[in-house]
């Protein structure tokens, strides 16, 4: 059980634990499977001006970006080696489009879907934190 799993479990049992969970989501490094044909399986090296092409899956008309809090969970989900990039949650929130859903730790008992409104709220939290830091 990861720290994120424990925080989600607490949040499910008690809504008062929401802030702790979302704070951890924003500060966790997530492994994002990418559709990068040039990269070999493993970490995609990203420099400041590079872009990645995350694997986006569609289900019931919703588009999901897959996020995993460990390389092991990503590999277990993919069932093979896969290219990936690693970003902190706050960076993922900043770059996510408004129509995108997140599917976190799919294939585990601690998976969670993030809906667009929830992601937009996280994006706003990040924006406010960035303003306060300036």
Look at residue 4 in the predicted model and tell me its pLDDT: 97
Walk across the sheet containing 56-59 and list its strands: 56-59, 62-67, 100-104, 112-114
Look at residue 52 in the predicted model and tell me its pLDDT: 78
Indicate if the alpha-carbon torsion angle 125, 22, 65, 83 is positive or negative.
positive
Please report, for the domain that includes residue 53, its CATH number.
3.40.1350
Across the chain, mean pLDDT equals: 90
Answer yes or no: is 22 within a domain: no
Token duo for residue 50: 């590079």
Answer yes or no: is 54 within a domain: yes
* Domain membership of residue 51 as a residue range: 30-133
Answer yes or no: is 100 within a domain: yes
Closest CA to 69 of 103, 114, 116: 103
pLDDT band at 47 (very low <50, low <70, confident <90, very high): low
Answer yes or no: is 13 within a domain: no
Q: What is the mean pLDDT of residues 8-22?
A: 95
The pLDDT tens digits for 86-133 are 999 999 999 998 899 999 999 999 999 999 999 999 999 999 999 987
Answer yes or no: is 6 within a domain: no
How many folded domains does the chain comprise?
Answer: 1
């Amino acid at each position: 059980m990861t720290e994120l799993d424990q925080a989600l479990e607490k949040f499910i049992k008690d809504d008062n634990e929401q802030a702790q969970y979302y704070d951890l989501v924003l500060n966790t490094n997530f492994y994002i499977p990418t559709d990068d044909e040039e990269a070999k399986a493993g970490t995609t090296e990203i420099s400041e001006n590079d872009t990645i092409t995350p694997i986006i899956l569609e289900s019931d008309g919703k588009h999901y970006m897959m996020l995993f809090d460990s390389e092991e969970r990503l590999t277990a989900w993919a069932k093979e080696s896969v290219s990936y990039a690693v970003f902190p949650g706050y960076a993922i929130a900043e770059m996510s489009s408004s129509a995108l859903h997140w599917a976190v730790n799919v294939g585990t008992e601690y998976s969670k879907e993030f809906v667009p409104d929830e992601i937009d709220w996280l994006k706003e939290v990040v924006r406010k934190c960035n303003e306060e830091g300036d």
